[in-house]
Amino acid sequence: MYGLCLRYASDEDDAKDILQEGFIKVYSKIQQYGFKGSFEGWVRKIFVNTALMRFRSNRIIHVEFDEQLCKDQVISEELESSHGEEELLKLIDELTPKYKLVFNLYAIEGYSHQEISAMLNISEGTSKSNLSRARAILQGKLRVLQDEKIKQGENI
């Protein structure tokens, strides 16, 4: 769960706080677990919601909807496969908080834009726009990394 907390936190101390709050909520709400679905999934959802509540209380999320940027931009498989998971997670962590949050919820946790908009109290268009911008930023950073590796003569 600490890894999940790190994905949503601004730093390690913030992640530790989310982790602690999450375990307190799991412990205090354990009687609500209905044995439907996996226990891990139930716990994971509590931690994601804890991170979201912390994010909402600390920041205001708003980006105007830009239809041009919402065209489905996918990080090319070639770029993605040439980098390790650790490199990709580091790049995701460098995103601004609003982009990082939407990217994590959509790409990693698997939430829909409708669900994200309800969780964050933003429009679906804003969710789509934030995801699109996050993908564009990541794609640019991946290209820079790839170019650096080529200049250094590494095999990619």
Same domain, 100 and 29: no
Same domain, 103 and 86: yes
Query: Is residue 125 very low, low, confident or very high in pLDDT (cuts 50, 70, 90)?
Result: very high
Residue 61: what pLDDT? 41
For residue 103, pLDDT over 80 is answered with: yes
pTM: 0.60
Mean pLDDT rounded to a whole number for the chain: 78
Domain count, the chain: 2
pLDDT 10s digits, 2-41: 888 888 887 888 889 999 999 999 999 898 888 888 898 8
| Domain boundary, last residue among 42, 58, 74 | 58
Amino acid code (one letter) for 120: L
Same domain, 112 and 146: yes
Same domain, 108 and 156: yes
For residue 143, pLDDT over 60 is answered with: yes
Q: How far apart are CA 22 and CA 50, in angstroms?
A: 6
Q: Which of 1-5, 83-87, 124-128 has the highest mean pLDDT?
A: 124-128
Same domain, 49 and 108: no
Domain that holds residue 88: 63-156
CATH of the domain at 118: 1.10.10.10
